[in-house]
Amino acid sequence: MILNIFENGNILKEKTSFKIPDFVVLTGENGSGKTQLLDFIKDFAGGYQSKESKIIFPITDNWGKNLSTMVHSSPGFGNLNNFNLNGNQLMETIKHQWDVLSPIARSYILIKENKFNNNDEEVNALNSILGQFIFNVTKNSQINIVPTTVHQLNQLKDLSTKANKSIDKLTYIDFLIFYEIQPDIFSSAIDLLFHQFYLKQKYYPELILGITPPWVVFNTISEDIKFKYKVEYDTPTQDEKLSIIKLTYDKKEIKDLTFNTLSSGEKTIMALIFILYHSTNNGKYPEIFLFDEPDSHLHPSFTELFISTITNLVKSENIKIIMTTHSPSTIAFSPEEAIYRMDRSLGYPVKENRRNAIQNLSNGLVALTIEDGSLDIEYIVKSTDKNIILFTEGITDKIILKTAWEKLYSSVEMPFIIQECFCASFLATLFGRGHEKPDGIFEINSNKTMIALFDFDEAGYNAWDNNTKNSNYEIIERDPEKCLTKSNGEKAYKMLLPVPNIPDIQKQVIRDKCQTFKNKSLLTIEHLLFNVPGFKEKHFIEESEAGGARLFKFKGNNKRDFSKKLDNLEQKYFNEFIPLFDKIKEISGIS
């Protein structure tokens, strides 16, 4: 596609005939102008006048055709707090809006045969008879009459056209059926979206001939992107009451499973499905999607799924997508040719390579070469003379573990190497594809024992718990204080951090004895050092959770600085790492 920018008096500078791919992932520092660019494309979709008095469109295809039909979403697909709303609240809002419009619509019968030169004349005529009409209906002369506005009249005219009814014949059900749902209020809107289709089936069947019900489309999209959630919809008993939507996971109905109970990553994927459906409810995708940080609520474990979904959309539907991001995970899983950086000094995007983009976003913490979305670590694994490889989620995990080993076993050389990855999803993908031929990491290093170590949090647990079609891991250690461990029956293992003997941290993971909170747990490697004097106050923050629970979260503002402070600690503060090292020794057969 072709990008044409003009100077906006702020950051954007003129740049025309700039050819970019059909899928662009736009990164850059805060304040570089990423959001300004998306807003510019949206606001001037109808074209702008150049210095030569020509009409120029901000986005065209490669042959100059204007791309004007678009969907624009605010960061995180809007506010994920909307998941805490429910459809009935939205219905109340709609009913209140209709209560304002209803007397205007009903009184319209008194002027509908009149001819008017413009909307202002028509509104004045309505206002002149509205008070008398309401009095005739209610017999109450004390009602405060609010004058009708041109906007309200246009609302009714638009509804009249859609319903193919005279304004005075419109009803609340008509207003409900054709109510425009915003694509960034997913949770509270999906049940209304389904309800609208049901009402169209009942009252306007001619409008949905040949159109697949939204719950079917929703599940089809979910299945296409290999997302395990599905929706079940039962028709309502009353036109003005919403039917409860049931969620199933992997074809199983789970008690109390609702949109509100989904993780933030799951909500983001659900919201993407909703936007994809919402944008095609006329049977056709828009020409371009503008996504402003759609991954802002997305856990790394869902990043690859998210990126694969929209890249497949670009290929299969020939649409264009520009999305902004601050996520290194998103950059890592994106096609190399899609990665651009918004240059504040130039005022327009420039091509960026993946390595630089990731290192800039991660403040240089990532020291990995990433090729085609996977970790290029084969050389390191092959070149080591040690047969045990411990993979961690990140570089600071590696630093902390090396320090812990040196403190606990200062006279013993570490019998394994530690290879840092980038995040839980990378590590899960690496192991999930381990047996893929010809270059799966287990295939080319069949003589080495490989251990993936995950944090005991949402992303880590989901990665640890996930089995792919090419791998089948069985649990071999069920005691969370000794590292929950899975084995593929060969030389590959997946482990979760051991739950430390620290009551404040244990309650964040262990529900009862060996029963844990699974992916609702919160245990990162820094929590193993929670009892170091002064660390609790300086490096952790206590937050309230739903139900009155209190959780200690690592502040995480500078993990590298934290890891560097460990060198001067006494040996005793590293005792919580002993179960981890014992488990590595046990499964590796070393003493």
> CA angle at residue 296 from 292 to 299, to 5 degrees?
140
Task: Give bridge partners of residue 340 from the DSSP assignment.
Answer: 26, 351
Nearest to 38, CA basis, from 242, 330, 325, 277: 325
Coil, helix or strand at residue 574: helix
- CA dihedral sign of residues 175, 178, 184, 189: positive
What does the radius of gyration of the chain's CA atoms come to, in whole angstroms?
29
What is the DSSP code (8-state) at residue 257? Answer: -
* Three-class DSSP category at 314: helix
Cβ–Cβ < 8 Å for 199, 177: yes
**Per-residue pLDDT at 373:** 36
Confidence (pLDDT) at 447: 82
Looking at residue 355, its pLDDT comes to 75
Q: Residue 364's pLDDT is what?
A: 42
Query: Helices 87-107 and 186-203, interaxial angle, to 10°?
Result: 50
CA distances to 17, 118, 147, 164 from 151, in Å: 39, 13, 12, 20
pLDDT at 543: 84
Beta strands 449-454; 388-392: pairing state = parallel
Residues 550, 553: Cα–Cα separation, whole Å: 10
Calpha distance 379→588 (Å, rounded): 22
Global pTM value: 0.53
- Centre a 10 Å sphere on the Cβ of residue 483 and count the other Cβ atoms it contains: 24
Structural domains of the chain ordered from first start: 2-69+286-361 (3.40.50.300), 86-177 (no CATH), 186-279 (no CATH), 379-588 (no CATH)
C-alpha of 242 from chain center:
26
Q: Which is nearest to 499 in space by CA: 509, 491, 489, 490?
A: 509
State the Cα–Cα distance between residues 167 and 157, nearest whole angstrom.
Answer: 7
Q: How far is CA 329 from CA 144, 240, 298, 411, 428, in A?
A: 57, 44, 10, 38, 13
Confidence (pLDDT) at 79: 47
Helix or strand or coil: residue 235? coil
Give one DSSP letter per residue of 423-436, joined into a string: SHHHHHHHHHTTT-
Residues of the chain with pLDDT under 70: 75-87, 135, 137-144, 182-188, 253-265, 267-268, 274-284, 296-302, 362-383, 422, 437-439, 467-471, 545-548, 556-558, 560, 591
Structure tokens at 419: 């290879």
Contact 236, 91 (CB under 8 A): no
Q: Token digits for 77?
A: 């697909």
- Rounded (5°) CA angle 169-170-174: 145
